[in-house]
Each structure stands twice: as structure tokens, then as C-alpha cells.
Amino acid sequence: MKKLLLGSLLATAAFASNATVVEMQTSQGTIKIDLFDQQTPKTVANFLSYVESEAYNQTVIHRSIEKFIIQGGGFKFTDDFEAIETSPAVMNEPVLSNVKGTVAMAKLSNNANSATSQWFFNLKDNSANLDKQNGGFTVFGQLTPDSYAVLDKISALVHCGEIPVVDITKEQCANADTTLTIANLVAINSVVVLDDDPNSSVNLSPKENTLINDPTQPDASDSSSGSMSWLLPLLLLCFKRRRVA
């Protein structure tokens, strides 16, 4: 019994984590993220490279699905959606679970190692769907508790298709003559590192992805409920689709 208890404590300790702290200033409020430097070093370094180059500044949240995800990191908007310049894809690191409040990388369908700039917030426990699918989606951070209200605010906005919008009605969404401006979108004004010390956030307890190496668990295929494609029906845009499912 003592051996089992000790083993359990050691396993918990192994997944206790410290983290670099990043802050997103959005048009709907401030979001703080603790990054899992120790468990997903390649993905964190990739994300921070975009932060340091200010590539995420003045981008927009381009996808939001109720009780699933909120996605950004891919587009700026002037008169149209414009994809940001991306670096080479990062190697997948599916060691942590896609539970509620985590941040993970979006990627191309059927390509486990295709994540570049886009990320998404898990609005619920998506582990059963995302921890093994497409090689598992790499969780590289988690929201601070005071950031949840901002995601709730974004989720509650009117959505044109899957795009959360401000000061536009559902009726206007359905009208082909409706014109979007940056003021109608959820803007990410800036992303900055608050503390670059990996020990700056202590006592984090990320959940291990136990499904990725479980042969009894099927590798979920693409589905409409889990799709992370860049679906922008209001604007009838065609993009190469980057997906979570």
C-alpha cells in the first residue's frame, strides 16, 4: 500500500510544472497564459518566437465553437482576412491532455507535425477527442483562473458562422451586403511575456495525455464536431484548411 501511494506521489510530482507567463491584451479583455516550458519545450519556443517577433499583435480570433474551442494566431484583418507569415512547422509534443482551460496548437488534417502559428483554447475537456487524434494535439499552456471570464465573453458574442463578431446581428450576418471592419472582430492587440523565468509560475499541475500511447483507444478521424478548418462562410473565403479534427 505504501509503495502504491509513493508511486502515485512521484507521478504527481513528475507532472508538477513551472512556467513562463504570457499576457494577451484583447479587445474583450486580458488573457494570461502559463506556458509549459518543461513538458513541451519545442512548442513553447515556437510560440514565443511569434510573440517576440510581434507576429500575433493586431491579429484576430477567427474561430469560436460553443463548448469546444476558441482559435486564433492565424490572421490579421484590414479590408480582408490576411494570413500572417509563418515559420517552419514544429515537431508535435502530445504529452499533455486537452482538458478545459488549456492552450494547444492547431494543425493540418492528417499531418501530426504541421503546427505553425495557430493555437486554440479548450473550452471544455476535449481529451477524448483531441488527445490521440492526428497524433494528438500539443497542449503547451494553461489559462490563469481570472482569464476564463474573457473566453466566456467571446463565446457569448454573436457569431457569423464560426467568427465571433461585435455590433453585428444574426440578420446582418446572413446579409451578403454586410461589411466587416476590424472593430467588428475580436482583436488581439498585443501578446507579451510578463516573466521569462520558467520558474515564474509554480505549482501548476498539467494533466498527462494517457491516451496517445494506449493501443485500446482508437485514433479519432476527422469529424464535423471536431473540425478546426478555417471556415469563413460570411466572406466566402477559400484557405488551405488547418484543423483540429
Distance in angstroms (rounded) separating the CA atoms of residues 39 and 17: 8
Please say if the pLDDT value at position 216 is more than 90: no
E strand segments, 109-215 = 119-122, 139-143, 158-160, 163-165, 187-195, 201-204
Averaged pLDDT, 2-22: 52
Please say if the pLDDT value at position 229 is more than 50: no
DSSP 211: S
Its pTM stands at 0.84
Q: What does the block give as the cell for 223?
A: 469529424
Q: Are 143 and 151 in contact (CB under 8 A)?
A: yes
**Mean pLDDT, the chain, whole residue set:** 84
Q: What does the block give as the cell for 11?
A: 507521478
Please say if the pLDDT value at position 9 is more than 70: no
Distance in angstroms (rounded) separating the CA atoms of residues 216 and 98: 19
Distance in angstroms (rounded) separating the CA atoms of residues 42 and 20: 14
